[in-house]
């Protein structure tokens, strides 16, 4: 699957493209995110169980809940256990589907 989007944090804005696959062994969705921040892709994983969605990398995890119509995902990023909270890993975020 291919997902394209942008993120805005205050005056900061970045565009990204994410390529998502499926790992039947773990029943999760590994992904690579390419952004205009660097030329190196970032590795993430997705896990969807009902309306709860988790999206994580080595240092932090986003946990959110899908709206009934599936068009909005609301939740927040939190640091991994043992990691220090920073503005880059501790914030709430809402993702909206644009058709």
Question: Which has the minimum average pLDDT: 19-23, 53-57, 69-73, 93-97?
Answer: 93-97
Q: Is the pTM of this model over 0.75?
A: yes
Per-residue pLDDT at 10: 76
CA 73, 97, 44 angle in degrees (round to 5)? 60
What is the arithmetic mean of pLDDT over 53-72? 96
In the numeric block, which tokens belong to residue 47? Answer: 């896990």
- Beta-carbon contacts of 96 under 8 Å, excluding residues fewer than 6 positions away, are 71, 72, 73
pLDDT digits (tens, 9 = 90+) for 10-60: 788 888 999 999 999 999 999 999 988 778 899 999 999 999 999 999 999
What's phi and psi for 84, nearest 5 deg? Answer: -75, 140
Query: Which has the higher per-residue pLDDT, 85 or 8?
Result: 85
Per-residue pLDDT at 44: 95
pLDDT of residue 6 exceeding 90, the answer is: no
CA dihedral for 60, 94, 31, 50, sign (positive or negative): positive
Q: Would you list the domain boundaries of the chain?
A: 2-94
Distance CA 64, CA 86 (A): 19
Residue with tokens 């009902």: 50
């Amino acid at each position: 699957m291919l997902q394209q989007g942008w993120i805005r944090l205050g005056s900061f804005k970045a565009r990204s493209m994410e390529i998502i696959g499926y790992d039947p062994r773990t029943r999760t969705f590994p992904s690579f995110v390419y952004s205009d921040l660097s030329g190196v892709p970032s590795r993430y994983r997705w896990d969807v169980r009902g309306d709860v969605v988790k999206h994580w990398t080595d240092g932090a995890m986003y946990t959110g809940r899908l709206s009934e119509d599936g068009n909005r995902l609301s939740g927040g990023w939190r640091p991994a256990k043992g990691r220090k909270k920073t503005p880059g890993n501790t914030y709430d975020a809402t993702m909206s589907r644009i058709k």
